Amino acid sequence: MESNCDYTKAVFDHFQNPRNMGEIEDADGVGTVGNPSCGDVLKVMLKVDGDKIEDVKFQTFGCAAAIASSSMMTTLVKGKSLGEAKKVTNKDVAAALGQLPPIKVHCSNLAADALQKAIGDL
């Protein structure tokens, strides 16, 4: 049986040194997905300047895969245009992290969802 925690180097790196973690006080858009009774919770905050994502921050309650996916997602969209960010999917985040153990794929599925929700909130 494959272990739950056989993560790639990229996952470990983003888990241990999460990028863009924290809060944006005067965020232009906020998206929260998940709830603690059924698992991971992810909050994404955006600061935009015209069409550009000037800043993005996240907060995550979840396993290492969930934290790493959140972090990776922010690096995929920071400084990008809203049009580019709208195209980012959960699959893109998972691909950027390399292979996730099969049981962990769902843990990465919140990252892009929360991003899209935050964009919708703008």
Q: How far is the CB of 39 from Zn ion (least distance, A)?
A: 7
Residue 32 contact among other proteins, Zn ion, none, beta carbon within 5 to 8 Å by kind: other proteins
5 is an active site residue: no
> Is the CB of 14 or the CB of 77 nearer to other proteins?
14
Task: Kindly name the residue from 45, 73, 85, 107 that is annotated as catalytic.
Answer: 107
> Is the CB of 60 or the CB of 90 nearer to other proteins?
60
> Is the CB of 60 or the CB of 116 nearer to other proteins?
60
Query: Does residue 63 belong to the site contacting Zn ion (CB under 5 A)?
Result: yes
Report d(CA 36, CA 97) in Å as an integer.
Answer: 24
**How many other CB atoms sit within 10 Å of the CB of residue 17?**
10
Collapse the DSSP code of 44 into the 3-class scheme (helix H, G, I; strand E, B; otherwise coil) and give the result. Answer: strand
Report d(CA 94, CA 107) in Å as an integer.
Answer: 10
Collapse the DSSP code of 56 into the 3-class scheme (helix H, G, I; strand E, B; otherwise coil) and give the result. Answer: strand
Longest CA–CA span in the chain (Å) reads 49
Could you tell me if residue 98 is left (phi over 0), alpha (psi between -120 and 50 degrees) or otherwise beta? left
Interacting residues toward Zn ion by CB under 5 A: 63, 65-66, 107
Interacting residues toward other proteins by CB under 8 A: 4-5, 15-16, 18, 21-22, 32, 36-43, 59-67, 103-104, 106-107
